[in-house]
Amino acid sequence: MALSLNSSALMLQVSELAERQHYPAGALYVVATPIGNAADITVRALHVLALVGRIAAEETRNTSQLLARYGISKPSIAVHEHNECSAAERVIEHLHNGERIACVSDAGTPGISDPGARLVDAVCKAGLPVIPLPGASALTTALSAAGAWVSGFSFIGFLPTKAKQRATQLRALANHPLAIVFYEAPHRIVETTRALAEAFGNAREILIARELTKLHESLHHCTLAEGPSWLEEDATRQRGEFVLVVQGAPEKEAADDTHDALLGTLLEELSVKSATRIAATLTGAPRNALYERALQLSKLGSEDEGAE
């Protein structure tokens, strides 16, 4: 839809708001970009991307294509998982020369399951300013549509890809009282939702948010028991990018299992009986309850090993 005269005037006013802010030279600007729909970029992000001398980007070709949509073209520095520290040195050199540099990732907010955090560390350590520009993230986009059952949350991002490590991490989270947010790739989405039900039980709520802001966006609420079969019913439900938001542990579970981390660690080396004895000595908790829980944990552990 073309902008009307009134909305053009409004855009101009908003652009002026972005321009009026002071943008110090020699600073790193951490700029969020869209997670799907290219229109989800802020006016201030566009202003800063046009202002900076250089762009530190996860994948320079993707970023050039995105920026071309906004009529912006800038020299870039590749900053990805495998070169973040050495690339940081180059960025700092340019910043010392008084350049402004923007850091962007392939999509969404840098540093959120994306490169950026180590660059930020290095720039801070060099005593130079880091200026964040807020914008899209799959994390906040999914949470904004989750509902009131998410009153607080913890963000995990991607789980380990190996079944045993994934089960160990999930076991450690099983009693976490807050909602937990995961990112997942399409080829692992079914097995991950299955692993969530195994670790957290069948009853908790899950939001399966797929292809947010894109043409095939879908947000599906169900229980952990229903998640895998819902995904398997239709192959298109397994395509694209996913955010999973899982309800936190009910209060009772959270209280019952406060000693899981300790028991889990002890069980890696000891029998159920020995782990119980040491945990009881260390915590003063009732031995019977600890024994029951240690049994459950050790059973879960051997199932995971079988799954590998």
Query: With contact defined as beta carbons under 8 Å apart, do 248 and 178 qualify?
Result: yes
To the nearest whole angstrom, how small is the minimum distance from the Cβ of residue 206 to ligand SAM?
A: 14
Residues that bind ligand SAM (CB under 6 A): 35-36, 105, 107-109, 112-114, 137-139, 183-185, 209, 211-214, 241-243
Whichever of 84 and 241 has its CB closer to ligand SAM, that residue is 241
In angstroms, the CA 55 to CA 195 distance is: 39
| Phi, psi at 4, each rounded to 5° | -80, 170
To the nearest whole angstrom, how small is the minimum distance from the Cβ of residue 63 to ligand SAM?
A: 13
Encoded tokens for 261 = 């981390």
Whichever of 185 and 289 has its CB closer to ligand SAM, that residue is 185
Q: In this structure, how many other beta carbons lie within 10 angstroms of the beta carbon of residue 105?
A: 25
Whichever of 63 and 105 has its CB closer to ligand SAM, that residue is 105
In angstroms, the CA 193 to CA 93 distance is: 45
Whichever of 52 and 107 has its CB closer to ligand SAM, that residue is 107
Whichever of 239 and 277 has its CB closer to ligand SAM, that residue is 239
To the nearest whole angstrom, how small is the minimum distance from the Cβ of residue 290 to ligand SAM?
A: 37
Query: With contact defined as beta carbons under 8 Å apart, do 49 and 73 qualify?
Result: no
To the nearest whole angstrom, how small is the minimum distance from the Cβ of residue 93 to ligand SAM?
A: 26
Query: With contact defined as beta carbons under 8 Å apart, do 77 and 67 qualify?
Result: no
Total length of the chain: 308
To the nearest whole angstrom, how small is the minimum distance from the Cβ of residue 155 to ligand SAM?
A: 10
To the nearest whole angstrom, how small is the minimum distance from the Cβ of residue 274 to ligand SAM?
A: 41
The residue with its CB nearest to ligand SAM is 108
Encoded tokens for 141 = 């986009």
Look at the block and give the residue holding tokens 């910043």. 95
Task: Report the first-to-last Cα separation within the chain, whole angstroms.
Answer: 53
Whichever of 153 and 242 has its CB closer to ligand SAM, that residue is 242
To the nearest whole angstrom, how small is the minimum distance from the Cβ of residue 141 to ligand SAM?
A: 7
Encoded tokens for 263 = 């028991």
Whichever of 76 and 192 has its CB closer to ligand SAM, that residue is 192
Encoded tokens for 239 = 């395509």
Query: With contact defined as beta carbons under 8 Å apart, do 308 and 163 qualify?
Result: yes
